[in-house]
Amino acid sequence: MPTLFVWEHIVAKEKVVDAARRVAGPVIEGLGYELVDVVFLMEAGRWRLRFYIDKPGGVGISDCEAASREVSMLLEVEDVVTGPYALEVSSPGLDRPLFGPADYERFAGSLAKVRTSVKVEGQKVFIGKIDAPGATGFDIISKDGGKVYHIEYDQVEKARLEVEF
User: What is residue 9's predicted lDDT score, i.e. its pLDDT?
Assistant: 54
User: What is residue 8's predicted lDDT score, i.e. its pLDDT?
Assistant: 54
Q: Domain limits of the chain?
A: 2-90, 101-161
Low-confidence stretches of the chain (pLDDT < 70) are 1-11
* 2-90 against 101-161: fold identical: no
User: What is residue 146's predicted lDDT score, i.e. its pLDDT?
Assistant: 83
Nearest Cα neighbor of 131 from 142, 122, 119, 118 is 142
Topology, domain 101-161: SH3 type barrels. (2.30.30)
- The answer as to CATH 3.30.300.70 being correct for domain 2-90 is yes
Q: DSSP 3-state assignment of 119?
A: strand
User: What is residue 7's predicted lDDT score, i.e. its pLDDT?
Assistant: 45
How much is the CA Rg of the chain, to the nearest whole Å?
18
Q: Spell out the alpha helix ranges (H) of the chain.
A: 2-30, 61-78, 101-106
